[in-house]
A = this chain, B = another copy of it.
Amino acid sequence: MTTNYDFNDRPDAARISLVAGSTGEAEVAELFLNFQWAYREMQRQYDQVLANSGLSESKFIILMFLAQAPQQQLAPSVIADKLGATRATVSKLLKGMVAQAWVARVASPTDKRSTLIQLTAAGQQTVTAFLPHNFAAVQTIMAPLSPAEIDQLNGLLQKINQGTHNLNLELERNQHAK
């Protein structure tokens, strides 16, 4: 059964789009809100899957990086770069992961500033136990999409990336002009 999963169960934020003026603006504003809504609901459920295993998304990804790394160890700065987060954020995450004993700190032999993060057996076990749940969740979320629709959506997301990039350029131009 394919019921309608439209955006009607959502709070009142959609009303904002009614403020739009000329033709076409309303549709664009509505799409923007739908995009935010779809992501946020999806992420809420996905976070719940992670939380059921005591994980957060970032901590899971860090465990994955370590599991795939040579000697299963990486420097915090490398983790930050791969994750796309700041060192400060990673530092805080690692603090928690050390406390959970999923990882351990090892002094770097080559650089006295650096400490390597080493995956522990417990961490290894946690991540491998979680992997099936992760892929099941992702499959479930994307299951309603046919292969053709997957391609379509990838293409449309790239267009949003382009729009984001254009907005970024505008902002930087305004910054400079100031």
Contact = CB atoms under 8 A, between A and B. Distances in A.
A19 interface: yes
A147 B24 CA distance: 8
Contacts of A24: 147
Q: How large is the interface on A (under 10, 10 to 19, 20 to 34, 35 or more residues)?
A: 35 or more
A163 B142 contact: yes
Copies of this chain assembled into the complex: 2
B143 A160 contact: no
Given A29-B138, A161-B38, A161-B41, A152 B152 contact: yes
B143 A163 contact: yes
A135 B143 CA distance: 33
Main secondary structure of the interface of A (DSSP, over half): helix
Given A19-B131, A61-B13, A147-B24, A153 B35 contact: yes
Contact of A28 (B2, B7, B38, B142): B142
A33 to B, nearest CB: 9
Contacts of A143: 163, 166
A167 B140 contact: yes
B49 A171 contact: yes
A71 interface: no
Given A144-B159, A163-B144, A138 B42 contact: no
B153 A12 contact: no
A83 B11 contact: yes
5 A-B pairs closest in CB distance:
A11-B84, A12-B82, A141-B163, A144-B159, A5-B161
